[in-house]
Amino acid sequence: MRYDALIVGGGLAGLSAAVQLGRYNHHVLVIDSEDGRSSFCLRYHNLIGWPDGVSGPELRKAGRAQAEKAGVRFVKDKATQASVLDDEGFSVHTESGETYEGRRLLLATGVMDRLPPLEGLRPCLGISIYVCPDCDGYELTGRRALIMGAGDPGAHMADILSYWTDDLVYINHEKAAVKPELLSKLREKGIRVIEEQVERLETEGDQLRGVMLASRERIEGGRAFVAFGGNEVRSQLGAQLGVKLHRNRHIEADPRTKMTNVRHVWAAGDVLAHSEQASIAMGDGSQAAIWMHKSLIEKPGSLALRPLEDAEKHMERADS
């Protein structure tokens, strides 16, 4: 069977696209390995309608249920190879040995953060330990905060965060080189820079209390950012298809339609070259889906809508 659309990645971008495409009654399959940023960010604070925050897993569960209600199918698997079959088709091969075909392809595979393997980190992500200053810098307002990082990326993060608080400690966990001018800037701002490994985090559930350094010095702090650089941009499938990548390996796409330079291949969310935020990923997904739909119906006779009975069956099931 050839789906109208294959979506690789069932995070916030992929799910928004799935809901939109499902509601056009297209045949849609989402292939998702369920290990992206929205699976482990435990609180989004900047989404309207959620003044106390909402967790990624909660949003994903709701998004998937909404897409399934609109008839979208999901498989848990990792796509390993994408190929062009013909003018109207792609195949996606997966780790479990399956091959799926689709007339349109959306890459919504995101980015994977490079996080230190410190016990207690995961339950705090998005709640008391953060990665994105535009999302969570506000949470530091007027408070002591630690930056755990490596070299320049960590130092840059400390510099950015000084907008919200002047009580910052930068722990250069990997002791990587920091540009002298950047180091001077941090010192001028009164930011303490420690060249030492964090031995362990001191946490209570999802709350950070401080860190213990290798030297046994304890640094107190209820908020922290991690900034190690070297995040993995998951654009490998795009590269296989000849999709144009930015020098930082993010995918480039038309800003209006989200289509890449390869005809009928779209991209949405963090894998694209732009700000990495939840609402932007969702917006990208919807926008890509609208243009995928336009392209699916552009040729007279090319309609591949789900039969009406099929859509009605889904609606009945959802209503019961």
Ligand X SMILES: Cc1cc2nc3c(=O)[nH]c(=O)nc-3n(C[C@H](O)[C@H](O)[C@H](O)COP(=O)(O)OP(=O)(O)OC[C@H]3O[C@@H](n4cnc5c(N)ncnc54)[C@H](O)[C@@H]3O)c2cc1C
Among 108, 168, 198, 243, binds ligand X (CB under 6 A): 108
Site for ligand X in 115-154 (CB under 6 A): 125-126, 130-132, 135-136
Q: Does 34 bind ligand X (CB under 6 A)?
A: yes
> DSSP H helical segments within 162-300, as ranges?
180-188, 236-241, 278-296
Among 45, 114, 209, 249, binds ligand X (CB under 6 A): 45
Among 31, 105, 193, 289, binds ligand X (CB under 6 A): 31
Q: Which residue is nearest to ligand X (CB)?
A: 11
Among 33, 165, 207, 257, binds ligand X (CB under 6 A): 33
Name residue 203's beta-bridge partners.
Answer: 208
- Please, what is the minimum distance in Å from the beta carbon of residue 281 to ligand X? 3
Site for ligand X in 155-194 (CB under 6 A): none
Based on CB atoms, which residue is closest to ligand X, 66 or 279? 279
Based on CB atoms, which residue is closest to ligand X, 20 or 277? 277
| Whether 133 contacts 155, CB under 8 Å | no
Binding range to ligand X, per CB under 6 A, among 29-37, 172-180, 185-193, 249-257: 29-37
Burial track 140-177 (b if 16+ CB lie within 10 A, e otherwise): beeebbbbbbbbbbbbbbbbebbebbebbbbbbbbebe
Sequence-distant (6+) residues with CB within 8 A of 202 are: 120, 208, 209, 210, 211, 212, 218
**Separation CA 259–CA 55 (nearest Å):** 29
Half-sphere exposure of 310 toward its Cβ, with a 13 Å CA cutoff?
Answer: 15
Query: How many of the other CB atoms lie within 10 Å of CB of 81?
Result: 14
Question: How many residues bind to ligand X according to rule CB under 6 A?
Answer: 41
- Please, what is the minimum distance in Å from the beta carbon of residue 185 to ligand X? 26
**Separation CA 317–CA 320 (nearest Å):** 5
Can you list the positions of beta strands (E) in the chain? 2-8, 28-32, 73-76, 79-86, 89-94, 99-107, 111-112, 129-130, 145-149, 168-172, 192-194, 198-204, 207-213, 218-220, 223-227, 232-233, 265-267
Among 41, 224, 227, 251, binds ligand X (CB under 6 A): 41
Name residue 198's beta-bridge partners.
Answer: 213
Q: Does 231 bind ligand X (CB under 6 A)?
A: no
Site for ligand X in 55-84 (CB under 6 A): 78-79
- Please, what is the minimum distance in Å from the beta carbon of residue 234 to ligand X? 4
Based on CB atoms, which residue is closest to ligand X, 193 or 237? 237
Among 44, 90, 100, 228, binds ligand X (CB under 6 A): 44
Beta strands 99-107; 2-8: pairing state: parallel
Binding range to ligand X, per CB under 6 A, among 108-116, 175-183, 195-203, 248-256: 108-116
Binding range to ligand X, per CB under 6 A, among 34-42, 147-155, 247-255, 286-294: 34-42
Please, what is the Cα angle at 29 between 108 and 54, to 5 degrees?
55
Site for ligand X in 254-313 (CB under 6 A): 269-270, 276-279, 281
Assign 3-state DSSP to the chain and report helix, strand, coil percentages, each to 5: 30, 30, 40
Q: List contacts with ligand X (CB under 6 A).
A: 8-14, 31-39, 41, 44-46, 78-79, 108-110, 113, 125-126, 130-132, 135-136, 234, 269-270, 276-279, 281
